[in-house]
């Protein structure tokens, strides 16, 4: 059993906010692997069981609000007797990463994130895998709580859509191949497509060789 936890806050007013990107990735995984399944209330969370690449998985969205996320995670870990270093993946927003960037790590501090901090407290360790999704740093004129509870700008939305898909792909890789393989494949920043070189040696907007007045 693998436990994939997306962090966020319950309720319609928090949908599509920066703090709820973990929920968004879990929703994508549920659509991919458990289409039509009804979420079940367990462990102070909404959960869906889904087979991912042949592995039994529990997809979880805690309903305790962000700062009590550890309650749901610890309850499921204890019930299924999971090894948090290899069976648990927590998906979370991160203001320290550029918007649209994803990073996998096997351990680390909470970095001021209330959800990660409560999970660390509940599990008694910070050595559990997490998938961080960048939402950009808070602008200096805003309170950080207001920023993460706000919705993305149109420019950020354009970056987040492919990032959420990539994050779901990374979670699938974690399940099937383990953390090290997922880190190797998904921690590299996606490269933009290369521009085609001009044919015939003519630089863009320039003169052919030997041309000019």
The sign of the torsion formed by the CA atoms of 185, 166, 179, 115 equals positive
pLDDT-derived band of residue 213, with 50, 70 and 90 as boundaries? very low
Identify whether the C-beta of residue 132 lies closer than 8 Å to the C-beta of residue 92: yes
| 99-132 burial: b if 16+ Cβ within 10 Å, else e | bbbbbbeeeeebeebbbbbbbbebbeebebbbbb
Q: What pTM, to 2 d.p., does this model score? A: 0.85
User: Residue 24 pLDDT more than 60?
Assistant: yes
The sign of the torsion formed by the CA atoms of 59, 179, 185, 16 equals positive
User: Exactly one of 18, 19, 28, 61 is catalytic; which is it?
Assistant: 19
Using CA atoms, how far apart are residues 21 and 135, in angstroms rounded to an integer? 9
pLDDT-derived band of residue 109, with 50, 70 and 90 as boundaries? confident
Q: Is 33 a catalytic residue?
A: no
Identify whether the C-beta of residue 110 lies closer than 8 Å to the C-beta of residue 117: yes
Within 10 angstroms of residue 212's Cβ, the number of other Cβ atoms is 7
Using CA atoms, how far apart are residues 152 and 145, in angstroms rounded to an integer? 14
Radius of gyration of the chain measured on its C-alpha atoms: 20
Identify whether the C-beta of residue 167 lies closer than 8 Å to the C-beta of residue 7: no
What is the structure's pLDDT at 56?
Answer: 95
Question: In sequence order, what are the residues at sequence separation of 6 or more whose Cβ sits closer than 8 angstroms to the Cβ of residue 105?
Answer: 129, 130, 132, 183
- Supply the mean pLDDT for the chain: 88
In this structure, what is the dihedral angle of CA atoms 21, 25, 28, 30, given to the nearest 10 degrees?
A: -120
What is the structure's pLDDT at 190?
Answer: 55
Identify whether the C-beta of residue 30 lies closer than 8 Å to the C-beta of residue 50: yes
Identify whether the C-beta of residue 150 lies closer than 8 Å to the C-beta of residue 87: no
What is the structure's pLDDT at 36?
Answer: 75
Half-sphere exposure of 143 (CA within 13 A, CB side): 3
Q: What is the set of domains in the chain, with CATH numbers?
A: 2-190 (3.40.50.1470)
Kindly state the tokens that stand for 13. Answer: 């007013």
Identify whether the C-beta of residue 23 lies closer than 8 Å to the C-beta of residue 34: no
Using CA atoms, how far apart are residues 52 and 64, in angstroms rounded to an integer? 26
Mean pLDDT value across residues 41-48: 95
What is the structure's pLDDT at 74?
Answer: 97
User: Residue 202 pLDDT more than 70?
Assistant: no
């Amino acid at each position: 059993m693998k436990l994939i936890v997306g962090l966020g806050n319950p309720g319609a007013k928090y949908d599509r906010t920066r703090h709820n990107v973990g929920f968004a990735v879990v929703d994508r995984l549920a659509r991919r692997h458990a289409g039509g399944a009804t979420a079940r209330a367990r462990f102070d969370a909404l959960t869906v069981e889904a087979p991912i690449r042949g592995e039994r998985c529990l997809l979880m969205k805690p309903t305790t609000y962000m700062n009590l996320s550890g309650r749901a995670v610890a309850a499921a870990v204890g019930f299924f007797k999971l090894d948090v270093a290899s069976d648990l993946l927590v998906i979370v927003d991160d203001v320290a990463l550029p918007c649209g960037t994803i990073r996998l790590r096997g351990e680390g501090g909470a970095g001021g994130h209330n959800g990660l901090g409560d999970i660390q407290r509940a599990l008694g360790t910070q050595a559990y895998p997490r998938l961080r999704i960048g939402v950009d740093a808070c602008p200096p004129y805003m309170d950080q709580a207001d920023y993460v509870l706000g919705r993305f700008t149109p420019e950020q939305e354009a970056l987040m859509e492919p990032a959420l898909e990539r994050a779901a792909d990374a979670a699938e890789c974690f399940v099937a191949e383990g953390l090290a393989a997922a880190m190797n494949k998904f921690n590299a920043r996606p490269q933009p497509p290369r521009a085609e070189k001009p044919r015939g040696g003519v630089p863009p907007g320039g003169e052919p060789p030997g041309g000019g007045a």
